[in-house]
Structures are given as structure tokens and as C-alpha cells.
Chain A
Amino acid sequence: MTRLLRADALRLATTRAYWLLAAGATALIAGWITATAAATSFTPGTSPARTVLAIAGLAQTVALLTGVLAVTSEFRHKTITPALLITPRRTPLLAAKLITLAAAGLVFGLAATGTATAITLPLLAARHVPADLTVAGAAAMIVGGGIATALFAALGAGVGAIIRNQAGAIIAVLALLYIAEPLLGFIPHLGTPIQQYGLAGLAAGTTHTIGFPATAHLLSQPAAAIVLAGYAAVALLAGAALLSRRDITT
């Protein structure tokens, strides 16, 4: 397993696309957060800090896409064949990917949320806007950001193993996140469960930022993280089962 983890860490580190994605997302989050913290007028009753830091949730979307890309690119570029020739047992191969991606997601999530917090709090203080965030609260958000990003990367790996077609898998997760969930969230009676148990709501819950809409009821941080971990586990188990059964013909 150590060999596989070393191989997968090298795989991730030697692919420029992932570095560009992480750097681009961090720059986007930093810029967007700077503009929002510096210029937005906040609705009374919502925490300004949590509202601004919800933007750092982009890190989770990027992690989800990275997880999908890391697995589907093995099929798209046919590198799954040489990989399986070296490591014919498929479940350990996927497990190594999961661990590597989750670790990378944790680091990226901590960095992205940490950077976002470091930008937000001084800007709000400079505008004399009460941030409504304690030091412990900020720490819990940053840790939550790391955990949520790690879990989204793992979920992406699972989805990628289920839907091997790269474009198909990316469209599926983006459509779920940005079209299906927001639309379903407006349906009476269905709204609250979607806000709580949908991917966007779980990301907001795990990081303890505000949800969509801002009045959404969210799960507590531990509960949201556990549900999210459950989704990732189901996707990965299904992905592992399919990967073991499927013929590798490319």
C-alpha cells in the first residue's frame, strides 16, 4: 500500500493541471472574498464572516472535480491499463487514490479556508463591521473547510469510478450541485431536506458557513461531516465494486 500511495502522490504532483486548478481556485476565492468583504452590505441577522466565507466553498467544488478528474483521466488517457498491469488488484488501486486525494483535499481545504479567513477578518474589522465570529469559531470553520474539501475529493473519486466517462462525470456532478439541488430546494416540503442533506447544504454545514438560501437550515458541523462521509463511502464502495467487475478494454 505504501508503494501505491507513493505512486499516487507522484501522479498528482506531476500533473500540472491539478496545480493550475488549485492555484486558480485559490486566486479566485481570494479575489472574490476580498471584493465581497470590502464592499458588500450585510443583511442584518446573518453573520457577515460566515456569509463571506461561504465563498471559500468553491474549494469543495474544485476538490470534487479533481477527484472526478483523477479517476476518469485514467480511463480517458488509457493509463488505467499500465496502472493495472503493475497493480492488478483493483480495489487497493482505488483505495490508494482515495487516500491520496483526501489528503491533498485536506491540505488544499485548510489552505483555501485559512487564506479566506485571513483576508475576511481584517477587512471586516477595517470597515467596523462586526464579524460575529470568535477565534474558536474561526478555527472550527478552517478545520471544517479542510475536512469538507477532503470528503468532496473522496466523493469525486467514487463518482469517477462509477461514471468513467470524464465529460459525463463532470457534467453529472456540476448539474447536481448547481442545477438540481437549487431547484429542488425551492419545492415546499422538499426544501429543508435538500438544504440539509444536499451536497451544497452539507458543504455549508461542515464548514459552518451560511447555506443557500441564507435562511437555510443546516446540520451541525459534526452531523454534516458524518453524512458527507457516508455519501463518499457509498460512492466509493459502488465505484470499487464496479471497477472490480468491469472489463478494462481501453
Chain B
Amino acid sequence: MASQPTWLQAPGVEADAMTATTSTEGSGPVARRLAPAAVRRLPATAGPAIQVAGLRKKFGHVMAVDDVSFTVAFGRITGFLGPNGAGKTTTLRMLLGLVRPDGGTAAIAGKPYPELASPAGTAGALLAAAAHPGRTGRDHLRVLAAAAGLPGHRADELLDRVGLAHAARQRAGRYSLGMRQRLALAAALLGDPQILILDEPANGLDPQGIRWLRDLLRTLAADGRAVLVSSHILAEAAQTVDDVVVISRGRTVAHAPLGDLLATRPGATLEDIYLELTNTPEGARS
């Protein structure tokens, strides 16, 4: 790590909303729109929302995650980028206690996710657009709300928020992929968490849906929430994220504010930089 240029280092945890609002990138493609009210909502002693250090995981003989480290700050959208098979999903599943790491640590709000007193109230996650096909979208959310100790009307509020109120009483088996993504997003938001972890949330969304999602993520971050969003749609990420984590072949290869990353190569796009970072010398990956 010592030999890496400074923009590969973790951005300081204190790179918070105040620096974002005063940063010079405000006029660039990545407008940091943080209301002063949002800054006040941040906990006074807020550590990183998410801290991942040296995560490793092997499935059989396949090294899925080799050495992934990054932090995610409150009030910012962090894009988690990498090629298919780079280990994004496995990293997120380790972060959420679904997959047991072989090494390293992952903490959400300072604790391993399963040890949080109120997991759903602390972090909400979208990992699989999964619902029982025989259950209505509304009932799917009511089951999860009951498990989280939340009142049933949260289900209706969230369906409204993700634009599924019209399909609330339709069975999820008849939902399109985009509708299932919205349902999964509603599930992630159920507990009104301060931290959002979203794996490819734009999957299956139409252009209107993608715009809606982008606005939603920005609103969430402007509220002071931390948003970690994985994607391989770089043009979309470039319009949405504040910070970037790039992983390739199970390793973190970049971790920096988007503006800093773009400043290293004047004239280059996020795509240019990403392709260079993830293009391995062996040429094993196209």
C-alpha cells in the first residue's frame, strides 16, 4: 500500500459533508448537493458508516475476494465498481454477515452486522430482487416489517415511495424485474436506516426508473445517510457517486473521491480510468 499514489489511499473519514459542499467539484458533473440541515443530522462522533479491512474469501479453490478494504462515509454516495466476478457481491455479503470471511473484518456503524442491536434500523440492503412468487408485494413487505418489529403500514408507505402502490396486491410472480428491484429497494428502506447497501439496484430499471433511482440515492445521501452502491454501469455511476471504490480480481485497486480520481488523468472519463485499473497485465480479463 505504501507504494501506491495518494489517490489510492482511503479518503479520510472526516471528508464529510462540509468539505463536500465547499469542494470545487460542485460545478462538475458530480454536483454535491448537501443541504446544511443534512450536516446537522450527522452524529457528532460519526465514524465511518462502513469499514471493510483486508477481507478475504475462497469458495473451494476459487479466490473470490483476496484483499478488499475501504470505508464509506455518512452523507455520501460511494460507488462500488468492478468487473463481473471481481468479488463485489461476495464482499457485500460478507459485510452483511451472509458469507463468512476467511480473513479480515467488516463493520457497519462500528459493529459486525449480525451484532447490531437493530440491524434493519441501522442498515438496509438490496442484494437479491427476491420475493416468493405466490405472495403479493405488499404481503412480502408486511412479513419483513413484522420480523423487524415495524407496523404493517410501513409496507404501504414504502410501496408508495418506490412507486409500486398500484401493484401492491399483485403477486410478486407477476412483477417485472424492474418491479422486483423496486420491491427489494422498499425492503431495504423499511427500517428507515442511516446506511444503505445496494447491489446493482439499477438492474432491470427503465430509463425513467434509473433517473428515479439516481434522485432517490441523492436524496438519501443529502439526508446525511451513507449509500454504498455497486454497479458496472460506469456512465450511470459517474453521474451519481461522490466516492469510488474499484475492485478487480478480489482486490481494491482504487479508493478515492470521484473528483480526485478524475483529476489524476485530465480529460479521461471514469470509464477510461476504470478500464485501465481493471485491465490486468496478464490480459486474462477482457
Contacts and interface: CB of A to CB of B under 8 A. Distances in A.
B139 A14 contact: yes
- Between B99, B114, B132, B188, the greatest number of chain A beta carbons within 10 A of the residue's beta carbon is seen for B132
B12 interface: no
Interface in A1-58: 3-4, 6-7, 10-11, 14-17
Interface string A218-230: 0000000000000
A7 B98 contact: no
Given A14-B139, A82-B184, A247-B100, A87 B131 contact: no
20 contacts: A3-B148, A3-B149, A4-B147, A10-B139, A14-B136, A14-B143, A15-B132, A15-B134, A77-B132, A79-B131, A79-B132, A79-B140, A81-B98, A82-B184, A82-B187, A85-B96, A85-B119, A86-B147, A87-B119, A248-B93
A78 B128 contact: yes
A14 B127 contact: no
Interface string B171-189: 0000000000000100110
Interface of B: 59, 90, 93, 96-100, 113-114, 116, 119-120, 124-125, 127-128, 130-136, 139-140, 142-144, 146-149, 184, 187-188, 190-191
Given A81-B127, A85-B96, A14 B147 contact: no
Given A6-B147, A83-B144, 4 more contacts: A73-B132, A77-B133, A78-B128, A89-B114
Nearest to A3: B149
Nearest to A96: B147
B148 A86 contact: yes
B279 to A, nearest CB: 27
Contact of B93 (A3, A86, A249): A249
Interface string A66-97: 00000001000111011111111100000000
Contacts of A7: 143-144, 146-147
A81 B130 contact: yes
Interface in A78-134: 78-79, 81-89
Contacts of A89: 114
Contacts of A248: 93, 98-99
Contact of A247 (B98, B120, B135, B139): B98
Contacts of A17: 134
A206 B184 CA distance: 44
Contacts of B135: 11, 14-15
Nearest to B132: A77
- Between A73, A86, A88, A249, the greatest number of chain B beta carbons within 10 A of the residue's beta carbon is seen for A86
A3 B143 contact: no
A218 B76 CA distance: 68
Contacts of A250: 128
A156 B144 CA distance: 23
Interface of A: 3-4, 6-7, 10-11, 14-17, 73, 77-79, 81-89, 245, 247-250
Nearest to B97: A88
Nearest to B147: A7
B130 A77 contact: yes
Contacts of A6: 146-147
Contacts of B125: 85
A86 B130 CA distance: 14
Nearest to A247: B99
A245 B140 CA distance: 26
A65 to B, nearest CB: 16
Nearest to B98: A248
A158 to B, nearest CB: 21
Contacts of B188: 85
A86 B119 contact: yes
B144 A78 contact: no
The 5 closest A-B pairs by CB, nearest first: A78-B130, A88-B114, A7-B147, A7-B146, A14-B139
Contacts of B184: 82
Contacts of A88: 96-97, 113-114, 116, 119
Nearest to B101: A247
B71 to A, nearest CB: 21
